[in-house]
């Protein structure tokens, strides 16, 4: 959530996160990107599958992909579920 909160407030990805992602993508050139929250699954609700999952993420599209995942938190699908 710290990264998501920073993104919402600053409109940017934290430099430390950006550095980790770029380093990871050097070793793994194509990945899937999905959300993961501590409270994603609870006894009375489950948010698993509500947020975007982006396939074929590479070093050329990772930032746009991460923004799509972050922005999916406020999607109509999530609003209707809540």
> What pLDDT, in 10s, does the model give residues 37-65?
666 666 776 666 677 889 999 999 999 99
Nearest Cα neighbor of 50 from 15, 77, 19, 20 is: 77
Residue with tokens 């746009």: 64
Beta bridge partner(s), residue 34? 53
State how far the Cα of 48 lies from the Cα of 20, in Å rounded to an integer.
24
Which pLDDT score, from 0 to 100, does residue 15 have? Answer: 94
Structure tokens at 45: 């609700």
pTM of the model: 0.78
Q: How many other CB atoms sit within 10 Å of the CB of residue 69?
A: 19
Length of the chain, please? 82
Residue 15: helix, strand or coil by DSSP? helix
């Amino acid at each position: 959530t710290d990264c998501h909160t920073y993104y919402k407030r600053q409109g940017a990805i934290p430099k430390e996160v950006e550095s980790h992602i770029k380093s990871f993508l050097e070793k793994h050139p194509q990945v899937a990107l999905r959300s993961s929250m501590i409270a994603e699954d609870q006894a009375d609700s489950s948010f698993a599958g509500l947020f975007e999952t982006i396939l074929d993420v590479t070093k050329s599209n990772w930032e746009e992909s991460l923004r799509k995942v972050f922005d999916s938190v406020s999607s109509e699908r999530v609003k209707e579920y809540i």
